[in-house]
């Protein structure tokens, strides 16, 4: 599904700041991978580089999604190809209704893939059902995108978008940040419901607790722009117990 | 369930938008011209031309005198230079001031007798003039709404729909040239009473040479049974359009009026100098909406309409209300300040505006709120969007006279810049001459937010679509004040007007 | 002749007539050259008239005419002059004429100070680059004929050059002795790279005054400017501040105006270097025959600049407050942060506030906003205070001072801010 090979990236404005320094990772269809690491290890940058946000320069290496070169594509092409990023800080867009936003996105992607667009009626039916599962009420759908949403509402909205867009490769960037226990459960249930053999996940998190809810197949520890250790779910527990310091010392 | 139904209705609008946007792959959509034989008055402007226009319209002597007086005043005036506009010198002798399709020389008795070519023009613009077709239904709404249309083609009105039905309600809706014949007393009483002949350079020019326009009279206590609309089309080359609209709402009357404009693509510029006067008496209210989509010139700044318009509403008596809503996307140059004279006590004026300038367009537009009566209220919401090499200025006046005690104004002006070659300017004048009135003015300038664009693109929209979505969001406060049919057209226009502004 | 050409001709004729009886001050060298050029500028522009766009709210006649009204000299016994408590180097002008005996030794300030009177044939290179040059630059996009007049005819003024942090603030003290004095003063200030200077001005100046300050602030330099314009009622005058800022330079200018029949304060600020910062603020209290006009232009010419304009006016009994402000952001000035607020509190029905707060923006990556409000004391706030037991007069005072606070916050030195706050409080007590 996702193949990252020796990826190097630095800040576009300041080539002195090198963030990714040779990161490699392979995610097969249906797998859930977690990347953990201390602040500043480059976790969020990885998600931005993969999704095509401005501001980063890839200097070496590459990334493919189902064999297609991700880094050559515009952000919307990556989205249409099936890449979805659940933002750590979902962006507020005043004046644009949540529904309008989502339907525009859904239909843009369908069109890009040569599929029939959804009519208003069909769309409404689908979104109502999905919203209900995530306990998102009609009012939240009508409000402008993320404007005035609480932290939990924003993250639920991200998962709703994920459910509507049905991507192949989902990157969850610190989806647990700012969530209380109940909200985390709700969000995790939403994610788990989407798990299937054809869909892969990359869960980026600082803490192990999210991984109690979204059980990963593989856990990777990231430090200074590289993966320094990979293992099974037990690796996350180890971090929880001992912190990152030991692992980092081990790696250097 | 109520809430969800509402959603569906809104969604109906938005879906329409997306589809319209997608269907309009090109840029300016209304740039074609109608090939038709025209009767022109000789080129140039002098007293004889003024007399000729008056004669063609079979006007009474007083109106001819009125025009001549305006013309003489105009000769002593100068084109205003205070707007942030670079206006190339206009040779007023190189223009035609009167152009009429030959088939209209003998006025057709009804729309059915109008030259099919002309009717086709309007059908192509999406303005149906056959009454049975005019059920501008909106999906999701319970029933279609009727809109009566006055179609103005170059210098003349082709005809007005739903006249009889309106007549039953006591509403007069006809061209101003007809009104001069059929309702001379009303015209004489109100013409020039809001915008005097010599109000400004362009109003004086209009007063001298206006050829047609719409006249609306809503008698006391009548709520106009349908929306009224005038559709202006400039077709002939080198021809100025000088229409004059007069709306009178008697005590307790109510009307919503829409105005739309387009013109063919040409690489020479064309002049449009209109005057709109609205008289609003006690407890009456008028809502005036414009979607201005004159040809804006091409991407190199060639051609386009010079749009110099004076619009003013006089809330002459207590509790009169007016609301201007405008979406200005067209014209090479826009000079336009729809104003409210809040003369009566407890009167209310509102101005909602979206002005989009792309490529080499220049817009200097805004409003005046002149508070003369006690407890008068006004509200201004202006959204300016600049892209390409365009310059976009909000210019507004809020004036609280000493006697306008306990009055209120709130003004919000937001500007959005797309690209670093354009300009966005705000020039408000605030004059407060009594203490109990409260005036608040806020303005911001920003660019389209990169994070918002990235968020949209991550969800699969391309850059232009993302910009259109974010800009439509920026304009929401104004769009929602438009009548439903216009809101759809306006949303689509926002997207189209910004084509080519990114990347 | 068409109306605009006719007006221009009238303005020029008026300038011609006004200058007919005036000859340029004696001198020589660069000062005379600057004066001659300014005179020519003025004749070309003509005198300002109320029909000019930036004089629409203030009638300039009393500032341009060869006649001017006498102004009674106010003897103040109920408070010390402003800045009395500040350890400063005082340079005293009486009716606009330097008084060496009343002044401190200029050397104590740790900066170079010369008198305009003495520099005619000297070789002050730094001054040549400033005198009349900033004023000339400031004639675009809006003409400022009064400033050109000043450059041409001023004989009085000081030239201050700071090459490091000044030891003490330089205080220009303007005393009055005659009812008829017409003072023209022109100061220039240069703050060299990394240097810092505090310039204080206080006093009513003269029956009529025309003051200009031209200031150049080098890279990383700082100029603090705090000014109070005295309490005399009848005087009329104009003051211009032209300031040009280098990279990372800072300017803070604050003016307190109380009373005065007619005062026009103009500021023209250019942020030429990257990351410059300019804060221009003013607090105005006026009662009765009082017309006060702040006209402020801030031009962002380079990236990453920051500017604030904060003007507050408390007006009563027919007093008129005017604010004309502009933030101009040129195409090169990306990442500009510009803010402007102008507010009036009208204490009774006859007061007036006339404002034209403008934005003119040619760069897209900017954050610019302005706000302007006018109104009376909020009755809900007043009631709330009274319901808590604060007497009405005291409650009003608190609310007015709260209203003025945002402008006072722009003064860097808290002691100075407190001194001026106290002066406004006393004024409010006298005028309640």
- A98-112, A212-226, B314-328: range with highest mean pLDDT: B314-328
**Residue B56 to residues B10, B329, B353, C431, Cα–Cα distance (Å):** 47, 33, 37, 68
For residue A112, list chain B residues with Cβ-Cβ distance below 8 A. Answer: 460
pLDDT digits (tens, 9 = 90+) for A19-73: 899 999 999 999 999 999 888 888 889 999 999 888 899 999 999 999 999 999 8
pLDDT at B502: 67
pLDDT at B145: 57
In this structure, are residues B460 and B453 in contact, taking their beta carbons and an 8 Å threshold? no
Tokens 């439903």, residue located: B484
pLDDT at B18: 37
Residue C206, in any domain of the structure: yes
Give the model's confidence band at B131: pLDDT under 50 very low, under 70 low, under 90 confident, else very high. Answer: low
Residue B8, in any domain of the structure: no
For residue B422, list chain C residues with Cβ-Cβ distance below 8 A. Answer: 362, 364
Q: Which residue has the higher pLDDT, B395 or A138?
A: B395
- DSSP letter for each residue of B121-180: HHHHTT---SGGG--B--TTSSS-B-EEEEEEETTEEEEETTHHHHHHTT-EEEEHHHHH
pLDDT digits (tens, 9 = 90+) for C17-45: 999 999 999 877 899 999 999 999 999 99
Using the predicted structure, report yes or no on whether residue B114 has a pLDDT greater than 80. Answer: no
> Neighbours of C (≥3 Cβ pairs closer than 8 A)?
B
What residue segments make up the domains of chain A, in order of their start? Answer: 2-251
Range of C223's domain? 4-17+25-376
Residue B499, in any domain of the structure: no
CATH architecture of A2-251: 3-Layer(aba) Sandwich (3.40)
pLDDT at B134: 41
pLDDT (tens, 9 = 90+) of chain C, 432 residues, equals 899 999 999 999 999 999 999 999 987 789 999 999 999 999 999 999 999 999 999 999 999 999 999 999 999 999 999 999 999 999 999 999 999 999 999 988 889 999 999 887 787 889 999 999 999 999 999 999 999 999 999 999 999 999 999 999 999 999 999 999 999 999 999 999 999 999 999 999 999 999 999 999 999 999 999 999 989 999 999 999 999 999 999 999 999 999 999 999 999 999 999 999 999 999 999 999 999 999 999 999 999 999 999 999 999 999 999 999 999 999 999 999 999 999 999 998 889 999 999 999 999 999 999 999 999 998 888 887 777 777 888 888 889 998 999 999 999 999 999 999 999 999 999 988
pLDDT at B15: 43
Residue C384, in any domain of the structure: no
Is there a contact between C3 and B438 if contact means CB atoms under 8 Å apart? no
Domain count, chain B: 1
Testing the interface with A: which of B460, B462, B495 to mutate, by most A Cβ within 10 A? B460
Closest CA relative to residue B225, chosen from B163, B152, B317, B290:
B163
This prediction has a pTM of 0.88
C77 Cβ contact list (under 8 Å, min separation 6) = none
| Alpha-carbon span B228 to B288, nearest angstrom | 10
Question: Tokens standing for C124?
Answer: 């002050």
| Alpha-carbon span C55 to B376, nearest angstrom | 29
Looking at the partner chain, which of B454, B459, B461 has a beta carbon nearest the beta carbon of A53? B454
Using the predicted structure, report yes or no on whether residue B223 has a pLDDT greater than 70. Answer: yes
| Alpha-carbon span B45 to A229, nearest angstrom | 86
pLDDT at B503: 54
Is there a contact between A103 and B452 if contact means CB atoms under 8 Å apart? no
Residue B144, in any domain of the structure: no
Residue B145, in any domain of the structure: no
Question: Tokens standing for B341?
Answer: 């004279």
C149 Cβ contact list (under 8 Å, min separation 6) = C38, C42, C64, C184, C210
Range of B219's domain? 30-74+94-131+150-442
pLDDT at B210: 93
Domain count, chain C: 1
Is there a contact between A108 and B461 if contact means CB atoms under 8 Å apart? yes
Residue C143, in any domain of the structure: yes
Testing the interface with C: which of B444, B445, B451 to mutate, by most C Cβ within 10 A? B445
Residue C189, in any domain of the structure: yes
Testing the interface with B: which of C360, C380, C381, C403 to mutate, by most B Cβ within 10 A? C360
């Amino acid at each position: 599904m996702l193949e990252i090979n020796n990826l190097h990236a630095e800040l576009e404005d300041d080539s002195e700041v090198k963030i990714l320094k040779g990161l490699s990772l392979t995610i097969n269809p249906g797998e859930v991978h977690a990347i953990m690491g201390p602040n500043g290890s480059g976790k969020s940058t990885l998600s931005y580089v993969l999704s095509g946000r401005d501001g980063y320069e890839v200097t070496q290496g590459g990334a493919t999604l189902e064999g297609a070169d991700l880094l050559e594509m515009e952000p919307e092409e990556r989205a249409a190809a099936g890449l979805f990023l659940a933002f750590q800080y979902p962006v507020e867009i005043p004046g644009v209704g949540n529904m309008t936003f989502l339907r525009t996105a859904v239909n843009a992607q369908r069109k890009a893939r040569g599929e029939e667009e959804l009519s208003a009626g069909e769309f409404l039916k689908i979104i109502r059902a999905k919203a209900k599962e995530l306990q998102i009420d009609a009012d939240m759908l009508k409000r402008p995108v993320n404007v005035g949403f609480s932290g939990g509402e924003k993250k639920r909205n991200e998962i709703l978008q994920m459910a509507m867009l049905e991507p192949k490769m989902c990157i969850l960037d610190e989806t647990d940040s700012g969530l209380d226990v109940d909200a985390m459960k709700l969000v995790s249930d939403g994610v788990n419901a989407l798990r299937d053999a054809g869909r892969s996940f990359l869960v980026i998190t600082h803490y192990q607790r999210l991984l109690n809810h979204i059980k990963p197949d593989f856990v990777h520890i990231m430090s200074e722009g590289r993966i320094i250790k990979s293992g099974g779910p037990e690796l996350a527990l180890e971090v929880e117990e001992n912190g990152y310091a030991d692992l980092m010392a081990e790696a250097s | 369930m109520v809430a969800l139904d509402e959603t569906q209705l809104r969604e109906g609008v938005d879906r329409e938008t997306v589809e319209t946007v997608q269907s309009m792959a090109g840029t300016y959509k209304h740039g074609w011209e109608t090939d038709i034989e025209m009767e022109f008055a000789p080129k140039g402007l002098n007293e004889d031309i003024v007399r000729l226009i008056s004669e063609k319209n079979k006007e009474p002597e007083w109106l001819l005198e009125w025009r001549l007086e305006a013309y003489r005043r105009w000769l002593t005036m100068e084109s205003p230079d205070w707007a942030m506009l670079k206006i190339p010198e206009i040779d007023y002798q190189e223009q035609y001031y009167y152009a009429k399709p030959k088939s209209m020389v003998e006025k057709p008795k009804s729309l059915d007798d109008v030259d099919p070519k002309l009717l086709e023009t309007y059908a192509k613009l999406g303005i149906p003039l056959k009454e049975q077709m005019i059920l501008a239904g909106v999906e999701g709404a319970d029933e279609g709404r009727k809109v009566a249309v006055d179609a103005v083609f170059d210098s003349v009105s082709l005809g007005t729909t739903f006249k009889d039905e309106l007549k039953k309600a006591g509403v007069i809706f006809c061209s101003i040239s007809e009104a001069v014949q059929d309702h001379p007393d009303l015209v004489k009483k109100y013409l020039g009473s809001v915008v005097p002949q010599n109000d400004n350079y362009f109003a004086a020019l209009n007063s001298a040479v206006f050829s047609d326009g719409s006249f609306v009279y809503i008698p006391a206590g009548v709520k106009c049974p349908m929306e009224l609309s005038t559709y202006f089309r400039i077709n002939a080359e080198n021809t100025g359009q000088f229409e004059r609209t007069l709306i009178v709402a008697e005590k307790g009357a109510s009307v919503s009026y829409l105005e739309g404009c387009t013109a063919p693509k040409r690489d020479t510029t064309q002049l449009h100098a209109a005057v709109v006067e609205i008289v609003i008496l006690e407890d009456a209210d008028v809502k005036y909406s414009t979607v201005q989509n004159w040809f804006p010139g091409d991407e190199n700044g060639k051609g386009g309409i010079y749009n110099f318009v004076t619009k003013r509403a006089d809330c002459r008596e207590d509790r009169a209300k007016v609301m201007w809503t405008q979406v200005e996307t067209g014209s090479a140059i826009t000079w336009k300040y729809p104003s409210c004279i809040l003369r009566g006590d407890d009167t209310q004026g509102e101005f909602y505006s979206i002005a989009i300038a792309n490529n080499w367009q220049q817009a200097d537009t805004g409003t005046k709120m002149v508070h003369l009566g006690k407890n008068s209220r006004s509200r201004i919401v202006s959204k300016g969007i600049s892209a390409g090499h365009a310059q976009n200025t909000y210019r507004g006046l809020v004036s609280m006279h000493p006697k306008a005690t306990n009055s209120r104004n709130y003004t919000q002006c937001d500007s959005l810049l797309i690209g670093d070659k354009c300009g966005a300017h705000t020039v408000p004048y605030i004059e407060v001459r009594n203490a109990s009135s409260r005036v608040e003015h806020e303005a911001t300038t920003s660019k389209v937010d990169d994070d918002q664009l990235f968020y949209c693109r991550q969800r699969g929209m391309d850059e232009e679509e993302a910009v259109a979505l974010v800009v439509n969001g920026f304009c929401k406060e104004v769009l929602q004040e438009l009548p439903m049919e216009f809101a759809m057209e306006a949303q689509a226009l926002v997207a189209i007007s910004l084509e080519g502004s990114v990347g | 002749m068409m109306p605009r050409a006719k007006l221009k001709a009238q303005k020029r004729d008026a300038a011609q007539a006004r200058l007919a009886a005036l000859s340029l001050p004696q001198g020589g060298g660069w000062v005379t050259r600057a004066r001659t050029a300014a005179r020519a500028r003025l004749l070309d522009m003509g005198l300002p008239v109320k029909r000019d766009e930036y004089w629409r709210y203030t009638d300039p006649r009393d500032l341009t005419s060869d006649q001017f009204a006498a102004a009674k000299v106010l003897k103040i016994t109920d408070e010390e002059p402003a800045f009395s408590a500040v350890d400063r180097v005082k340079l005293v002008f009486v009716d606009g004429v330097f008084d060496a005996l009343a002044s401190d030794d200029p050397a104590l300030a740790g900066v170079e100070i010369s008198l305009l009177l003495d520099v005619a044939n000297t070789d002050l290179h730094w001054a040549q680059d400033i005198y009349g040059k900033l004023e000339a630059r400031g004639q675009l996009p809006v003409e400022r004929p009064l400033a050109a007049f000043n450059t041409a005819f001023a004989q009085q003024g000081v030239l201050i050059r700071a090459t490091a942090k000044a030891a003490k603030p330089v205080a220009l003290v303007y005393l009055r002795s005659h009812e008829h004095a017409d003072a023209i003063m022109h100061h220039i200030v240069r703050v060299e790279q990394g240097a810092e200077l505090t310039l204080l001005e206080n006093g009513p100046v003269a029956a009529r005054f025309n003051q200009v300050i031209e200031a150049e602030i080098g890279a990383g330099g700082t100029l603090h400017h705090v000014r109070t314009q005295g309490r005399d009622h009848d005087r009329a005058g104009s003051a211009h501040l032209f300031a040009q800022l280098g990279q990372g330079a800072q300017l803070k200018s604050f003016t307190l105006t109380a009373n005065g029949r007619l005062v026009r304060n103009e500021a023209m600020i250019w942020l030429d270097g990257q990351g410059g910062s300019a804060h221009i603020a003013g607090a105005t209290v006026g009662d009765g025959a009082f017309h006060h006009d702040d006209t402020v232009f801030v031009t962002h010419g380079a990236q990453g600049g920051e500017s604030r304009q904060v003007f507050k006016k408390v007006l009563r009994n027919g007093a008129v407050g005017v604010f004309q402000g502009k933030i101009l952001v040129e195409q090169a000035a990306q990442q500009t942060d510009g803010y402007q607020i102008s507010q009036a509190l009208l204490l009774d029905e006859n007061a007036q506030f006339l404002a034209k707060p403008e934005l003119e923006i040619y760069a897209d990556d900017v954050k610019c906003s302005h706000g302007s409000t006018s109104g009376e004391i909020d009755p809900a706030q007043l009631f709330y205070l009274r319901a808590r037991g604060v007497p009405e007069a005291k409650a009003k005072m608190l609310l007015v001072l709260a209203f003025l606070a945002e402008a006072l916050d722009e003064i860097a030195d808290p002691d100075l801010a407190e001194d001026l706050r106290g002066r406004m409080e006393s004024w409010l007590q006298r005028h309640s």
